[in-house]
Chain A
Amino acid sequence: MKRSSFLSLALATVALVAIPACKPKAVAAGSGTRLLNVSYDPTREFYEAVNVAFKKKWAADGKGEINIEQSHGGSGKQARGVIDGLEADVVTLALAGDIDVIAKEAKLLPADWQSKLPQNSSPYTSTIVFVVRKGNPKGIKDWSDLIKDGTQVITPNPKTSGGARWNYLAAWAWANKEYGGDEAKTLDYITKLFKNVPVLDAGARGSTTTFAERKIGDVLLAWENEAFLTKKQFPGETEIVYPSLSILAEPPVAVVEENAKKHGTAELAKAYLEFLYTDEAQDLAGQNFYRPRNEKIAAKYSNELPSIPLVTVDKDFGGWAKAQKAHFDDGGTFDKIYSRGK
């Protein structure tokens, strides 16, 4: 009696470990080659449109049916996933720093990945703008208004969100200019700014939902495309304010070469990213409120996406590696503002 119950316990334990492990492809079904695009939060609608167009083109070229899978989340979180084994064929993240981490930690793509495609491997750009409530009741016009008492600012967490890091650097750039490069005063400004943040979401989309759906906060620091999308989704509820200075955000794309090699999708992955530079995809970028790199197509959208003074990470912060280390890594300025106490 004793033996048989031990036996069943042992059997149960074995089954527990073995059965799930031997079923790696249980639900995987369907036709054609698969391509997994691991992307950041606000690109959902854009890549939905791109995927339809690319699939059509790929089939029209006689290369067969393909299936493009999407995964979205905070840019840093997604990079972490790819490092831990989320087998992306291509990554389309919010900033170069996150792809650098994949190259450095997991060696899934070469360190010089950013030179593989034109324009820093960023087929579209964006910037950081303010979203305020209809009629701008708090009269928010520029970065200086964000640190006023009683103004609630919504931004995601720079540790996990790419958009939040662009927000942070844009604020930093403005303060740096305003205080003539005095770092203590700049840090003081940023500290005050984050004192006004009641909710730190993990990703850009979480922040947008907090602001637009849950109606928390007076101003949302957001991607320009996310700001327009909010305006479209919640008509008549929000307005976009362009600050006096913002940052040129270059969300980069890259083939995760080791994964693509393993899946036999190297050619497809490359073609997919190159497709982003075609007139058709550039136009889709414009339609989804990204700034197209193609100047002719960008001109078409210049009324909606006005040109404002923009700093760049490369010129003003010495590149992502340096900016990441100075501001967002452990012990960087972002940690300082919290250790200084709220």
Chain B
Amino acid sequence: MAYRSSTNESLPVRIVLIVVAVLILSLFLLLPLAAVFIEAFRNGYDVFIAALTDPVAMSAIKLTLFAAAIAVPLNTIFGVSAAWIVTKFRFKGRSFLLAMIDLPFAVSPVIAGLVFVLLFGARGWFGPWLGEHNLKIIFAVPGIALATTFVTFPFVARELIPLMETQGSDQEEAAVTLGARGWTIFWRVTLPNIKWGLLYGVLLCNARAMGEFGAVSVVSGHIRNKTNTLPLHIEILFNEYHSSAAFACAALLALLALVTMAIKSLVEHFTGHQAGGAAK
């Protein structure tokens, strides 16, 4: 063996541990995934295609992509700025900012949704003003984009902060001594150092944005062709006894996740098995 084992557990212990891990993985991850795809194709390929090309499903897919297209760039900008500020500087309220970034992870999505109803609902804080200006947020597309953005807020920042923390600001400081200015340093020094970590964060953010159910369900209003995202559409189909169609859409969503994971693995491969490491 090329490597010496770093642990000294006996063989039976190792076998038991491996078996337990494989068992749990199969039960909780592989089996449900397989079930989704089997159910989706149970009534044949035609049913699968028909379920996805149905106009209601198409509009749900479009809305899901649209919400992700708003949430992901916003959170990318936010994530990079927040990670930059938190790791390159020491200032008052820094740990408070760090805690705030984690907030969307900590609160239940349902509460996130309800908070938006409380703020922007017809009887919410800003409801009367929005009503007067004929702006609709809740039970309309902006609310869905907003809820999605909120829930996926921390992904990019959380990915970058540890990475930038370990990198320190030596290179930036060197750049300053050579006369570089803010943006130049960001584009030529910082960004190249974090790009794989950033990509990884963006991918995770995107996967979650497309899959979000709870917060979006609260602010959606469930209007067909209008405010139904793909996850909500799956629930409706299931409730209407269109099981195969529901699983067809679920399979599409799972597929999107799998593609994301595949790209993620590729990214890891390129970074030499470091989770978004500094090596190019």
Contact = CB atoms under 8 A, between A and B. Distances in A.
A83 B122 contact: yes
B138 A4 contact: no
B222 A4 contact: no
A84 B224 contact: no
Nearest to A6: B85
A217 interface: no
A85 B136 contact: yes
Question: Which secondary structure dominates chain B's binding surface?
Answer: helix
A8 interface: yes
B141 A24 contact: yes
A41 B89 CA distance: 54
A84 B142 contact: no
Contacts of B230: none
A71 B146 contact: no
Contacts, number: 123
Contact of B224 (A5, A27, A71, A73): A71
B81 A209 contact: no
A28 B141 contact: yes
Contacts of B240: 44
A84 B117 contact: yes
A313 B236 CA distance: 31
A71 B239 CA distance: 13
Given A21-B135, A81-B139, 4 more contacts: A20-B145, A21-B142, A84-B123, A86-B139
B122 A84 contact: yes
Contact of A3 (B84, B176, B182, B221): B182
A1 B117 contact: no
Contacts of A209: 238-239
A2 B89 contact: yes
Interface in A254-308: none
Listed residue (A12, A28, A72, A84) with the most chain B CB atoms within 10 angstroms of its CB: A84
Name which of B127, B141, B223, B236 has the most chain A CB atoms within 10 A of its CB: B223
A106 interface: yes
- Interface size on A, as a range, is 35 or more
Given A69-B226, A71-B223, A84-B138, A20 B121 contact: no
Given A5-B81, A85-B121, A209-B239, A24 B136 contact: yes
Nearest to B66: A27
B241 interface: yes
A11 B77 contact: yes
A201 to B, nearest CB: 10
B141 A23 contact: yes
B63 A27 contact: yes
Interface in B224-259: 224-226, 236, 238-241, 243
Interface string A44-79: 100000000000000000000000011111000000
Contacts of B136: 24, 85, 87
B149 interface: yes
11 contacts: A5-B182, A9-B82, A9-B85, A12-B81, A13-B78, A28-B141, A72-B222, A85-B136, A86-B138, A87-B139, A213-B243
A233 interface: yes
A73 B240 CA distance: 12
Contact of B142 (A12, A13, A23, A81): A23
Interface centre among B74, B136, B139 (most CB of A within 10 A): B139
Contacts of B84: 5, 8
Interface in B137-169: 137-142, 145-146, 149
Which 4 A-B pairs give the minimum distances between C-beta atoms? A85-B122, A84-B121, A4-B182, A9-B81
A133 interface: no
Contact of B70 (A19, A25, A36, A81): A19
A8 B138 contact: no
B165 to A, nearest CB: 16
B225 A69 contact: yes
B272 to A, nearest CB: 29
A184 interface: no
B278 interface: no
A165 B238 CA distance: 24
Which one of A23, A27, A44, A233 has the greatest number of beta carbons of chain B within 10 Å? A27
B224 to A, nearest CB: 5
A81 B221 contact: yes
A289 to B, nearest CB: 15
B208 interface: no
A213 B243 CA distance: 10
A26 B66 contact: yes
A326 interface: no
A210 B238 CA distance: 11
